[in-house]
Structures are given as structure tokens and as C-alpha cells.
Amino acid sequence: MLFDLQSGKRRRVVQVLFGGLAVIFLISFVGFGIGSPGTGGIFDAIGLGGNSGSTGSPQFDEEIDDAEAKLAENPKDEKALLDLAEVHYQAAQYQLQQDPESDDAQAEFESSLDAWERYLKLDPKKPDPGVAAFAAQAYVQVADADGAAEAQRIVAEDNPSAGTYGNLAFYLYAGGKIDEGNAAADKAVAAADTSQKAQIRKQLDQLAEQAQKLQEQAEEQAKQAEKQGGQPPGAAPIEDPFGNLGGTGGVGTPPGTAPPAP
């Protein structure tokens, strides 16, 4: 189910991991795939790539209505669902550019992901990697690390590279799936140019180490809160895991910092 993090404890763990790793990645690591459309670079994924948003005033409503009309005739129209997922994503990016505080952007991201998940339920033989890249970014915006990883896996398997698998590792680590993250990290290193293998291995090893520490800390904090009769699991709303880096509040670099050079 969309946005279901299963339990309050897991939700808090994912929040800590996603937020902590995002800041570490932005400040300390190379953003894989920067400037490469469709590669799923982490800076593109959190809105720093500058290539995914719309700059004009497109007629999103008309495109959405067209796709919805086709789906009314045939709910299993895969292309219409893909079109709907993509145009809602573009509308969300447009809303963020017009007003970084807009609640409309969040609604558009959720509508995009609803269409994407309806598409996946049709069990397509080969899920569309281009729209999967949009979906991965949309999942980041709604703080769903598991969803981001599932979508990014489609991107990586279609276009295996250090960037696509590096970002898959990031999302898996953020979701607390350390072993799966390590496997993706190995693929990222294997796909990297010889001159970059050592650097990428060092970066991803450090990311894995931080993910493990953050996971242990978050789980311990959750246990202590339960022992002390703190807020019951599931009672707290999901906070933006990127702090001021993402979500409906807009995306930007941390105050006083700049994204590292590619």
C-alpha cells in the first residue's frame, strides 16, 4: 500500500536513515549521474539536477483528462497509466518551481505514484524504465525509501551503471536494507570505470557504515521510547526525511553548503 511503512518503529528508523544519509551524501559524496538524464543520479532524484522540472506553463489538466478518458474506456491501458504518472510528476515539479511551499505539489506526486502503482499491478512484461526514474524521484519526495528502491531497481537493471546502482544502494540503505544495499554497491563498483572504482567503493563503504550506525541508533531510540511510555507507534506523522532538502517544502542544499562537484 502506498506510503505504508508497516509500523511506527520502522517509520522512525527509516526517517532517521533517509534523513541522515541524505545529508551525508550531499555534503560528503559525489552525486552519481549528475547531468545524465534518465540515469537516476541522486542530485536529480532530490531535485538538484535541474533537468527534470518543467519551465513553461504546460496544459497539464488537458493531458491528465486525456489519459483519464482513455482509462475510463480501458482501465488496463498501460500507456495511459504511464502518461498519467509522468504528467502528474511534471505537474508536481512545475508546482514546486512556482511555489516551493505548495501543497499541490505533494498531491501531484501522490497522484503520479498512484498511477505508477496501478501500472505495476498490471504486471507489465518490462516495466518502463523512463517513468520508473520519475517514480523513484517521486518516492523520495514523499519519503518512501522502499518505493524509491523498487523503482530505481527497474532503472538500474535497464541501464546498469555506477550511477544507477549507486543510487539504488543509497535508497536501500535509507530503507534499512543493509545487505541488499551492499549487493547494489558491489554492482555499482563493478560497473564503474577502472579509474573510479576505488573512489566509489570508498564512498559506498562509508555510506554503508553510516547506514548501519544510524539504523542501530534509530532502533535503540525507538526501544527506549517504548520502554518509557513514549508516543505509541504510528501516532506521529511522517516528517520530511530530508529536512529542508526535500518534500513539499522544496529542495535545496543545506544552509552554508554546496553540492560536491561531479
Q: Are 77 and 108 in contact (CB under 8 A)?
A: no
Q: What is the CATH number of domain 8-249?
A: 1.25.40.10
Name the phi and psi angles at 120, rounded to 5: -65, -30
Per-residue pLDDT, averaged over 119-140, amounts to 95
Question: Around 132, how many Cα atoms within 13 Å sit in the side-chain half-sphere?
Answer: 21
Instruction: Show the cell assigned to 168.
Output: 539504488
| Structure confidence by residue, pLDDT tens digits, 143-169 | 888 999 999 999 999 999 998 999 899
Better pLDDT: 78 or 245? 78
Q: What pLDDT is recorded for position 101?
A: 80
Q: Which of 256, 262, 255, 253 is nearest to 26 (CA)?
A: 253
Q: Which of 25, 79, 10 is nearest to 219 (CA)?
A: 10
Q: How far apart are CA 241 and CA 171, in angstroms?
A: 12
* Angle (nearest 5°) at CA 25 between 42 and 41: 10
| % of the chain surpassing 90 pLDDT | 40
| Structure confidence by residue, pLDDT tens digits, 52-72 | 444 444 579 999 999 999 999
Q: What is the CA radius of gyration of the chain?
A: 18
Q: How far apart are CA 47 and CA 134, in angstroms?
A: 11
Helical H segments across the chain, by residue range: 8-28, 42-45, 60-73, 78-98, 103-121, 129-141, 145-158, 162-174, 178-191, 194-227
Question: 116 vs 100, 141, 231, 243, CA distance in Å?
Answer: 24, 15, 33, 26
Question: Per-residue pLDDT for 195 more than 50?
Answer: yes
Question: Per-residue pLDDT for 105 more than 70?
Answer: yes
Q: How far apart are CA 251 and CA 255, in angstroms?
A: 12
Measured in whole angstroms, how far is the alpha carbon of residue 137 from the centre of its chain?
Answer: 4
Q: What pLDDT is recorded for position 143?
A: 82
Q: How far apart are CA 212 and CA 259, in angstroms?
A: 24
